[in-house]
């Protein structure tokens, strides 16, 4: 069966497209390649270009790599036009690219490899976030960024106060900076709360997530927004992998290396789970027992217990959300 795929390599100013048709014995035919401006006009121009070269009238799949935020406008535009859009995570595409042992790296080559990936691999169609979830996610990410900057500024202020004859103006500017951070954080929290309160169904589900011991409002809303309401996953294993909390083993023959989490996933989820997990090792009985068992087996690496607690909290959140029920400590989830 013939298959038409447009591989798209997106950058800030432009994107490069490769029109590829599948063939026998992995001999795919490049119909055409061309670059376009990364704008709405460029996207429309590409659609006309595809229509012109699609002589057989085949259904067309548009495959692109998730490169920062630069792919988003194009992906949304194509989706709104009713096109089949597929977005591949950057690390998957990077590993696929390595398999070809290609030493030349250009936008044209990248677009062709992305198109090949679209022909050879089964990919889930891309669906955009709802406007509400996207707004909450954007605000949540800015909240995390501001908190990080504020903590750094506070540490710097502490150092300034105890430095020898530090210029008073430097101290005043740093204090003003902290005040600005605090004001911005307060505004973002207020806006997030307003967005959640405006959606009765979301508010009810967030309230149920907060029945999990040590999961507060901010943690719940950040987890939900980063996972698009857990719509990205069919099971717990996919969720854990997405958060980078899956275990990566290092064993070969007689060699047994250290096992650790992959960290190949959403770092923001790991960041928001760390402090709640620490608290849960004391105040959440289910996680406290898990933490103690792991620490007994690994007395010299107690951080393993905290990581396992983070993973367990995330699983609790997933189960509560999917079941749409309040947290039950003794509930057994069958995936």
What is the per-residue pLDDT across 282-298, written as a single tens digit (0 to 9) for each?
998 889 999 999 888 88
Q: What is the mean pLDDT of residues 180-202?
A: 96
Least confident among 3-17, 102-116, 148-162, 293-307: 293-307
Q: What is the mean pLDDT of residues 20-48?
A: 90
Q: Is 268 helix (H, G, I), strand (E, B) or coil?
A: helix
Q: How many angstroms separate the Cα of 141 from the Cα of each of 12, 21, 102, 135, 278?
A: 21, 39, 36, 10, 22
Dist CA 316 CA 236 (whole Å): 10
Question: Is 98 part of a structural domain of the chain?
Answer: yes
User: Is 214 within 8 Å of 279 (Cβ atoms)?
Assistant: yes
Q: Provide the number of structural domains found in the chain.
A: 3
Within 10 Å of residue 318's Cβ, how many Cβ atoms? 22
User: Is 273 within 8 Å of 314 (Cβ atoms)?
Assistant: yes
Tokens found for residue 204: 């009810």
Same domain, yes or no, for 234 and 295? yes
Half-sphere exposure of 137 (CA within 13 A, CB side): 17
Half-sphere exposure of 305 (CA within 13 A, CB side): 22
Domain-ending residue, one of 68, 98, 120:
120
Within 10 Å of residue 299's Cβ, how many Cβ atoms? 7
> What is the distance of C-alpha 216 from the center of its chain?
21
Identify the pLDDT of residue 258: 67
Task: Tell whether the model's pLDDT for residue 57 goes beyond 60.
Answer: yes
Tokens found for residue 286: 């289910």
Question: Is 282 part of a structural domain of the chain?
Answer: yes
User: Is 78 within 8 Å of 85 (Cβ atoms)?
Assistant: yes
Tokens found for residue 214: 């040590």
Structure confidence at residue 216 as a pLDDT band (50, 70, 90)? very high
Question: Is 9 part of a structural domain of the chain?
Answer: yes
Nearest to 166 by CA among 176, 180, 178, 156: 156
Question: Is 8 part of a structural domain of the chain?
Answer: yes
Identify the pLDDT of residue 38: 95
Q: What is the mean pLDDT of residues 139-167?
A: 94
User: Is 30 within 8 Å of 20 (Cβ atoms)?
Assistant: yes
Identify the pLDDT of residue 82: 95
Question: Is 92 part of a structural domain of the chain?
Answer: yes
Task: Tell whether the model's pLDDT for residue 163 goes beyond 80.
Answer: yes
Task: Tell whether the model's pLDDT for residue 313 goes beyond 60.
Answer: yes
Question: Is 265 part of a structural domain of the chain?
Answer: yes
Identify the pLDDT of residue 304: 86
What is the per-residue pLDDT across 241-271, written as a single tens digit (0 to 9) for each?
888 888 765 555 655 556 677 777 789 999 9
Tokens found for residue 116: 């090949």
What percentage of the chain reaches a pLDDT higher than 70? 93
**Which range, 12-26, 66-80, 185-199, has the best average confidence (pLDDT)?**
185-199
DSSP secondary-structure letter at 128? P
Task: Tell whether the model's pLDDT for residue 75 goes beyond 90.
Answer: yes
Identify the pLDDT of residue 15: 95
Same domain, yes or no, for 19 and 77? yes
Identify the pLDDT of residue 9: 94
Tokens found for residue 104: 């030349």
Nearest to 309 by CA among 291, 331, 327: 291
Identify the pLDDT of residue 125: 92
Same domain, yes or no, for 171 and 245? no
Same domain, yes or no, for 235 and 275? yes
DSSP secondary-structure letter at 26? G
Same domain, yes or no, for 11 and 115? yes
Question: Is 333 part of a structural domain of the chain?
Answer: no
Q: Of residues 132 and 102, which shows the higher confidence score? A: 132
First to last CA, the chain: 35
Q: Of residues 99 and 78, which shows the higher confidence score? A: 78
Q: What is the DSSP string of 78-114?
A: HHHTT-EEEEE-HHHHHHHHHTTT-----HHHHHHHH
Same domain, yes or no, for 280 and 181? no
- CA angle, 241 then 224 then 248, to 5°: 10
Nearest to 63 by CA among 88, 38, 81: 88
Task: Tell whether the model's pLDDT for residue 140 goes beyond 90.
Answer: yes
The domain of 87 spans: 4-120
Same domain, yes or no, for 111 and 141? no
Identify the pLDDT of residue 242: 87
Tokens found for residue 216: 């507060």
Same domain, yes or no, for 109 and 141? no
Question: Is 247 part of a structural domain of the chain?
Answer: yes
Q: What is the mean pLDDT of residues 96-111?
A: 85
User: Is 16 within 8 Å of 70 (Cβ atoms)?
Assistant: no
User: Is 192 within 8 Å of 133 (Cβ atoms)?
Assistant: no
Q: Beta partners for 19?
A: 6, 32
DSSP secondary-structure letter at 63? E
Q: Residue 53: give its domain's CATH number.
A: 3.30.420.10
């Amino acid at each position: 069966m013939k298959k038409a795929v447009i591989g798209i390599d997106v950058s800030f100013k432009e994107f490069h497209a490769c029109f590829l048709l599948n063939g026998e014995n992995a001999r795919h035919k490049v119909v055409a390649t061309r670059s376009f401006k990364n704008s709405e006009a460029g996207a429309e121009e590409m659609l006309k270009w595809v229509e012109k070269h699609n002589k057989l009238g085949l259904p067309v799949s548009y495959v692109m790599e998730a490169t920062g935020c630069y792919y988003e406008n194009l992906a949304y535009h194509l989706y709104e036009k009713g096109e089949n859009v597929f977005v591949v995570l950057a690390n998957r595409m990077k590993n696929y690219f390595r398999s070809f042992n290609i030493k030349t790296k250009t936008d044209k080559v990248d677009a062709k490899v992305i198109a090949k990936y679209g022909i050879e691999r089964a990919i889930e169609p891309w669906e955009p976030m709802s406007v509400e979830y996207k707004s909450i996610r954007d605000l949540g990410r800015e909240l995390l960024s501001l908190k990080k900057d504020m903590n750094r500024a506070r540490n710097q202020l502490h150092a300034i106060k105890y430095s020898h004859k530090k210029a008073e103006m430097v101290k005043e500017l740093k204090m003003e900076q902290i005040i600005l951070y605090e004001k911005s954080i307060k505004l973002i929290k207020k806006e997030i709360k307003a967005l959640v309160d405006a959606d009765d169904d979301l508010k009810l589900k967030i309230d149920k997530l907060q029945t999990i011991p040590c999961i507060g409002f901010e943690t719940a809303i950040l987890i939900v927004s980063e996972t698009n309401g857990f719509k990205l996953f069919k099971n717990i294993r996919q969720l854990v992998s997405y958060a980078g909390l899956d275990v990566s083993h290092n064993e070969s023959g007689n060699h047994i290396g250290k096992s650790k989490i992959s960290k190949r996933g959403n770092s923001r989820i790991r960041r928001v789970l760390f402090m709640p997990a620490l608290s849960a090792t004391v105040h959440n009985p289910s996680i406290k027992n898990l933490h103690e068992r792991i620490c007994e087996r690994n007395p010299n690496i107690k951080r393993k217990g905290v990581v396992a607690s983070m993973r367990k909290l995330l699983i609790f959140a997933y189960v509560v959300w999917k079941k749409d029920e309040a947290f039950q400590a003794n509930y057994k989830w069958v995936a």
